[in-house]
Amino acid sequence: MIQTLIRNWWLLVLCGVLEAVYAVMNLFMLDPEGSPTLRTFGLRMTVVFLGKFALAAGVCAVAAGVWRAGKGKSWLLALNGLALSAFGWISIFYSRGRLAFLPVALLFVVMALSLGVPALAAAPTLRRHAPDQRLLRLAGAGAAGFGLGFAALGFGWIELQQPGSYFLWTSCYFGFSAICMLGLGLRLNRLRAAIHRMAASALPAG
Protein backbone atom coordinates (compact mmCIF):
# COMPACT_ATOMS: atom_id res chain seq x y z
CA MET A 1 0.00 0.00 0.00
CA ILE A 2 2.78 2.42 0.90
CA GLN A 3 4.37 1.83 -2.51
CA THR A 4 1.08 2.72 -4.19
CA LEU A 5 0.84 5.96 -2.23
CA ILE A 6 4.47 6.81 -2.99
CA ARG A 7 3.82 6.41 -6.72
CA ASN A 8 0.66 8.48 -6.49
CA TRP A 9 1.92 11.17 -4.09
CA TRP A 10 1.10 13.94 -6.55
CA LEU A 11 -2.57 12.90 -6.58
CA LEU A 12 -2.67 13.37 -2.81
CA VAL A 13 -1.13 16.82 -3.20
CA LEU A 14 -3.67 17.70 -5.91
CA CYS A 15 -6.49 16.46 -3.70
CA GLY A 16 -5.18 18.61 -0.86
CA VAL A 17 -4.97 21.69 -3.08
CA LEU A 18 -8.56 21.21 -4.29
CA GLU A 19 -9.82 20.75 -0.74
CA ALA A 20 -7.93 23.85 0.38
CA VAL A 21 -9.57 25.87 -2.41
CA TYR A 22 -12.95 24.48 -1.36
CA ALA A 23 -12.37 25.46 2.28
CA VAL A 24 -11.32 29.01 1.41
CA MET A 25 -14.12 29.60 -1.10
CA ASN A 26 -16.66 28.14 1.28
CA LEU A 27 -15.76 30.85 3.79
CA PHE A 28 -16.84 33.43 1.20
CA MET A 29 -20.38 32.12 1.80
CA LEU A 30 -20.31 33.85 5.17
CA ASP A 31 -20.50 37.49 6.08
CA PRO A 32 -18.87 38.82 9.28
CA GLU A 33 -22.04 37.98 11.24
CA GLY A 34 -21.91 34.35 10.11
CA SER A 35 -24.99 34.29 7.88
CA PRO A 36 -25.01 33.21 4.20
CA THR A 37 -24.50 35.92 1.61
CA LEU A 38 -24.36 36.01 -2.16
CA ARG A 39 -21.09 37.95 -2.32
CA THR A 40 -19.75 37.98 -5.89
CA PHE A 41 -22.05 35.37 -7.43
CA GLY A 42 -25.36 33.64 -6.76
CA LEU A 43 -25.72 31.12 -3.95
CA ARG A 44 -26.80 28.26 -6.19
CA MET A 45 -23.96 28.74 -8.65
CA THR A 46 -21.54 28.95 -5.72
CA VAL A 47 -22.73 25.62 -4.32
CA VAL A 48 -22.54 23.99 -7.75
CA PHE A 49 -19.07 25.41 -8.36
CA LEU A 50 -17.82 24.18 -4.99
CA GLY A 51 -19.40 20.79 -5.65
CA LYS A 52 -17.23 20.43 -8.74
CA PHE A 53 -14.13 21.07 -6.62
CA ALA A 54 -15.27 18.43 -4.12
CA LEU A 55 -15.97 15.97 -6.95
CA ALA A 56 -12.54 16.54 -8.49
CA ALA A 57 -10.84 16.09 -5.11
CA GLY A 58 -12.77 12.87 -4.57
CA VAL A 59 -11.68 11.49 -7.94
CA CYS A 60 -8.04 12.30 -7.05
CA ALA A 61 -8.36 10.51 -3.70
CA VAL A 62 -9.85 7.40 -5.32
CA ALA A 63 -7.14 7.38 -7.98
CA ALA A 64 -4.41 7.80 -5.37
CA GLY A 65 -5.72 4.75 -3.53
CA VAL A 66 -6.12 2.33 -6.44
CA TRP A 67 -4.27 3.61 -9.52
CA ARG A 68 -1.20 1.53 -10.46
CA ALA A 69 -1.68 -0.30 -7.20
CA GLY A 70 -1.36 -4.00 -7.99
CA LYS A 71 -2.16 -5.71 -4.68
CA GLY A 72 -1.34 -2.68 -2.57
CA LYS A 73 -4.58 -0.74 -2.88
CA SER A 74 -5.53 1.70 -0.15
CA TRP A 75 -9.22 0.94 0.17
CA LEU A 76 -9.81 3.40 3.00
CA LEU A 77 -8.36 6.25 0.91
CA ALA A 78 -10.57 5.11 -1.98
CA LEU A 79 -13.57 5.12 0.38
CA ASN A 80 -12.64 8.64 1.44
CA GLY A 81 -12.64 9.67 -2.21
CA LEU A 82 -15.98 7.99 -2.92
CA ALA A 83 -17.64 9.76 0.00
CA LEU A 84 -16.11 13.06 -1.10
CA SER A 85 -17.29 12.47 -4.67
CA ALA A 86 -20.80 11.70 -3.41
CA PHE A 87 -20.79 14.98 -1.48
CA GLY A 88 -19.74 16.76 -4.67
CA TRP A 89 -22.58 15.17 -6.65
CA ILE A 90 -25.09 16.17 -3.97
CA SER A 91 -23.80 19.76 -4.06
CA ILE A 92 -24.14 19.86 -7.85
CA PHE A 93 -27.51 18.20 -8.37
CA TYR A 94 -29.38 19.04 -5.15
CA SER A 95 -28.44 22.71 -4.88
CA ARG A 96 -32.05 23.74 -5.47
CA GLY A 97 -33.72 20.88 -3.65
CA ARG A 98 -34.25 20.25 0.03
CA LEU A 99 -32.13 17.44 1.43
CA ALA A 100 -32.03 16.20 5.01
CA PHE A 101 -28.77 17.01 6.76
CA LEU A 102 -28.26 13.47 8.11
CA PRO A 103 -27.09 11.89 4.80
CA VAL A 104 -24.61 14.74 4.28
CA ALA A 105 -23.37 14.45 7.87
CA LEU A 106 -22.88 10.69 7.46
CA LEU A 107 -20.79 11.30 4.35
CA PHE A 108 -18.53 13.55 6.42
CA VAL A 109 -18.34 10.85 9.10
CA VAL A 110 -17.16 8.36 6.46
CA MET A 111 -14.66 10.88 5.07
CA ALA A 112 -13.26 11.68 8.50
CA LEU A 113 -12.96 8.09 9.73
CA SER A 114 -11.48 6.82 6.45
CA LEU A 115 -8.84 9.51 6.87
CA GLY A 116 -8.23 9.07 10.59
CA VAL A 117 -8.18 5.28 10.96
CA PRO A 118 -5.21 4.74 8.58
CA ALA A 119 -3.31 7.58 10.25
CA LEU A 120 -3.74 6.08 13.72
CA ALA A 121 -2.93 2.58 12.43
CA ALA A 122 0.24 3.75 10.69
CA ALA A 123 1.59 5.77 13.62
CA PRO A 124 3.08 2.80 15.57
CA THR A 125 5.10 1.76 12.51
CA LEU A 126 7.11 5.01 12.65
CA ARG A 127 8.85 4.48 15.98
CA ARG A 128 12.13 5.73 14.55
CA HIS A 129 10.51 8.87 13.19
CA ALA A 130 8.97 10.50 16.24
CA PRO A 131 7.85 13.77 14.53
CA ASP A 132 5.99 11.86 11.79
CA GLN A 133 4.50 9.54 14.38
CA ARG A 134 3.17 12.46 16.42
CA LEU A 135 1.75 14.14 13.31
CA LEU A 136 -0.05 10.94 12.28
CA ARG A 137 -1.52 10.58 15.74
CA LEU A 138 -2.68 14.19 15.76
CA ALA A 139 -4.18 13.79 12.28
CA GLY A 140 -5.95 10.59 13.32
CA ALA A 141 -7.29 12.12 16.52
CA GLY A 142 -8.43 15.25 14.68
CA ALA A 143 -10.21 13.21 12.02
CA ALA A 144 -11.91 11.08 14.68
CA GLY A 145 -13.02 14.29 16.39
CA PHE A 146 -14.53 15.62 13.18
CA GLY A 147 -16.26 12.27 12.62
CA LEU A 148 -17.86 12.37 16.06
CA GLY A 149 -18.79 16.03 15.58
CA PHE A 150 -20.58 15.43 12.29
CA ALA A 151 -22.33 12.38 13.72
CA ALA A 152 -23.57 14.52 16.61
CA LEU A 153 -24.77 17.19 14.15
CA GLY A 154 -26.47 14.67 11.89
CA PHE A 155 -28.40 12.96 14.71
CA GLY A 156 -29.30 16.26 16.34
CA TRP A 157 -27.16 15.89 19.46
CA ILE A 158 -25.60 19.24 18.55
CA GLU A 159 -27.67 21.93 16.86
CA LEU A 160 -26.43 24.33 14.19
CA GLN A 161 -27.04 27.56 16.08
CA GLN A 162 -26.56 30.00 13.17
CA PRO A 163 -27.54 29.72 9.48
CA GLY A 164 -23.90 29.87 8.44
CA SER A 165 -22.66 27.24 10.91
CA TYR A 166 -22.87 24.53 8.24
CA PHE A 167 -20.43 26.43 6.01
CA LEU A 168 -18.09 26.96 8.95
CA TRP A 169 -18.10 23.27 9.89
CA THR A 170 -17.47 22.13 6.32
CA SER A 171 -14.74 24.75 5.81
CA CYS A 172 -12.95 23.60 8.98
CA TYR A 173 -13.13 19.97 7.92
CA PHE A 174 -11.92 20.58 4.38
CA GLY A 175 -9.13 22.79 5.67
CA PHE A 176 -8.04 20.04 8.06
CA SER A 177 -8.27 17.37 5.36
CA ALA A 178 -6.29 19.56 2.94
CA ILE A 179 -3.46 19.90 5.48
CA CYS A 180 -3.42 16.13 6.00
CA MET A 181 -3.43 15.35 2.26
CA LEU A 182 -0.78 17.93 1.44
CA GLY A 183 1.42 16.87 4.33
CA LEU A 184 1.14 13.19 3.45
CA GLY A 185 1.72 13.77 -0.25
CA LEU A 186 4.80 15.94 0.28
CA ARG A 187 6.20 13.52 2.87
CA LEU A 188 5.75 10.62 0.43
CA ASN A 189 7.48 12.62 -2.29
CA ARG A 190 10.50 13.12 -0.02
CA LEU A 191 10.49 9.41 0.74
CA ARG A 192 10.33 8.61 -2.98
CA ALA A 193 13.31 10.87 -3.66
CA ALA A 194 15.28 9.25 -0.82
CA ILE A 195 14.55 5.78 -2.20
CA HIS A 196 15.73 6.84 -5.65
CA ARG A 197 18.95 8.27 -4.18
CA MET A 198 19.62 5.07 -2.28
CA ALA A 199 18.99 2.98 -5.38
CA ALA A 200 21.28 5.18 -7.45
CA SER A 201 24.09 4.98 -4.87
CA ALA A 202 23.79 1.20 -4.77
CA LEU A 203 24.44 0.87 -8.53
CA PRO A 204 27.99 -0.08 -9.42
CA ALA A 205 30.07 2.71 -10.88
CA GLY A 206 30.20 2.50 -14.65
90-142 pLDDT, tens digit per residue, is 988 876 656 678 899 999 999 999 988 877 776 666 566 666 677 778 888 99
Domain chopping of the chain, boundaries: 2-202
d(CA 9, CA 7): 6
Angle ∠(92,168,152) on CA atoms, nearest 5: 90
* Distance from C-alpha of 156 to C-alpha of 46, rounded to nearest angstrom: 27
Q: Does residue 33 register a pLDDT over 60?
A: no
Neighbours of 103 (CB within 10 A): 13
Of residues 82 and 163, the one with the higher pLDDT is 82
pLDDT tens figures, 139-190: 889 999 999 999 999 998 888 766 567 888 899 999 999 999 998 888 878 8
**Residue 49, pLDDT score:** 82
pTM: 0.83
**Residue 41: predicted pLDDT:** 45
The CATH number given to 2-202 is 1.25.40
